[in-house]
Structure 1
């Protein structure tokens, strides 16, 4: 998110593109045949890119993840992302440029999201600076974050709903992960990080409701007692998913961070896949 709060971006590298209709229609048997670098910019000139590509587009080493013409590279303690993509309909245009994420430190923690370990979350760099130089006028600096989710089962098999948020604090950051699992159990995780990457599992503040998204996805986050969180920047809004910049208060500190809400019950619906195909082209 930019320091001025008016622009933001998200970049997700997929092996087994979990939100791709092509991957679901394939039976999810071959994740390396459905790879993607999803780059989305928010604010003036915002664009959405998510091309589902085949196995021939994938190249990876210990330090590089390449998908077609774009790549992520770990170099000298920084994550360098070189983007060369096309945005999807209706704003079809080239999205090109470079993003550099510089962590203040790396965290050494991985947390299971399900009791059987089928899903896990790894926050590599909870505190970082980001420099963005992309087309459509996206040239800015701000604070950022680098993590990974991985699993061996479909999300909609094991979860009904989840929310996640990462909020910067003056001496680090805090992440909240709340999920309703398909078996009726719940995940309630709050992790506090300092600038050196050290982490501590903490008691989360109370749940606080946010207004529903434009697609009426239910949303909630965490906040100090008596404080009402609010959205300050709309980001991605889909029938099953919402991403936005949210202002909340944690430990008495007012903070703005990226928040997501994911409704896997809606994502299960077969009616959704043709809609997603209009936004996620397939390039075998």
Structure 2
């Protein structure tokens, strides 16, 4: 992996009853790390020195958030596995297995559990996101089932529809983009993904694809842009749905000065679907005040 580069593996799942959710991101060269950003200012930085397993749990009673950066001997990469401290992601035959044991922030606590992702099919597609070919996105399991077993902060077990993808870059994310809106909305037979990015050079790229349970993938005619309410931090949430329909905000999952994650529902290709949306402002991320605030949500483990 290139110096100053990054890679991440992302999964999210929503319970069948709509009451629970989980998002886990395994990051090599943690793109939102203030420690990695500071290291890059001093010169080329090693992404393996800045790795994190970001775990976010959502429930009807309480949520939990963990984002601890590690490096050195705390990080091990294998052909089918990534280990970051006490947490790991790995393929076991046709199952994507995630184990996590992490400390929460900003309030001290622990999250512990296991997520098993069973893909309906593994996608064979990748997309270049920028004009210079330095940033790439690859859907891995756009439509899947999840078995979630949470031990801490409280014992919870549930199942639901899930999604897995990955991103790779040869330069800092904020060098390639000023921001984006991304969403995945899943019915029981397919997932619709929209990836609307604004590049640093001012050009725009819109990816809209449908991924079916039998493995078929196809580009879509542009969906209609719509908006739900801004977040408390003023982040705009641009959503794309069927023309003549409106998305519904189910819940704001994360609300930060530069990033928002939301649970949405809407009409896609004539079907009702539930999903996850994210809005990202890398212009905001670069500001000194946000860089100052980030360590309150993200800790650095001692080596």
1:3 to 16, 30, 48: 16
Say whether the 8 Å CA contact 1:45–1:138 is kept in structure 2.
Answer: no
Say whether the 8 Å CA contact 2:224–2:243 is kept in structure 1.
Answer: yes
Say whether the 8 Å CA contact 1:6–1:233 is kept in structure 2.
Answer: no
C-alpha RMSD of matched pairs (Å) = 1.2
Q: Does 1:66 align with 2:66?
A: no
In the TM superposition, residue 157 of structure 1 has moved relative to its aligned partner by: 1.5
* Cα-to-partner distance string for 1:41-95 (whole Å, 9 max, x where unaligned): 01233110100112211011111110111111210210111111111122x2111
Say whether the 8 Å CA contact 1:177–1:189 is kept in structure 2.
Answer: yes
CA distance in 2, matches of 1:210, 1:180: 19
Aligned residue number for residue 249 of structure 1: 267
SS at match of 2:141: strand
CA distance in 2, matches of 1:207, 1:84: 39
Stretches of structure 2 lacking an aligned partner (at least 5 in a row): 1-13
Give the TM-score, by structure 2 length. 0.91
CA distance in 1, matches of 2:27, 2:188: 32
Stretches of structure 1 lacking an aligned partner (at least 5 in a row): none
In the TM superposition, residue 213 of structure 1 has moved relative to its aligned partner by: 1.1
CA distance in 2, matches of 1:72, 1:141: 19
Say whether the 8 Å CA contact 1:230–1:246 is kept in structure 2.
Answer: yes
1:42 to 58, 76, 80: 58
SS at match of 1:271: helix
CA distance in 2, matches of 1:156, 1:67: 24
In the TM superposition, residue 7 of structure 1 has moved relative to its aligned partner by: 1.1
The within-5 A match list for 1:173-192 is 173-192=191-210
The ranges of structure 1 where at least 4 consecutive aligned residues each deviate by more than 4 angstroms after the TM superposition are none
Aligned residue number for residue 223 of structure 1: 241
2:99 to 82, 85, 109: 82
Give the TM-score, by structure 1 length. 0.97
Q: Does 1:14 align with 2:27?
A: yes
CA distance in 1, matches of 2:173, 2:100: 27
CA distance in 2, matches of 1:141, 1:47: 18
In the TM superposition, residue 190 of structure 1 has moved relative to its aligned partner by: 0.3
Q: Does 1:282 align with 2:303?
A: no
The within-5 A match list for 1:134-283 is 134=150, 135=152, 136-283=154-301
Query: How many residue pairs were aligned?
Result: 283
Q: Does 1:119 align with 2:135?
A: yes
In the TM superposition, residue 3 of structure 1 has moved relative to its aligned partner by: 0.6
CA distance in 2, matches of 1:105, 1:162: 27
Say whether the 8 Å CA contact 2:187–2:274 is kept in structure 1.
Answer: no
CA distance in 2, matches of 1:80, 1:56: 22
* Cα-to-partner distance string for 1:180-210 (whole Å, 9 max, x where unaligned): 1121211111011110222111112111112
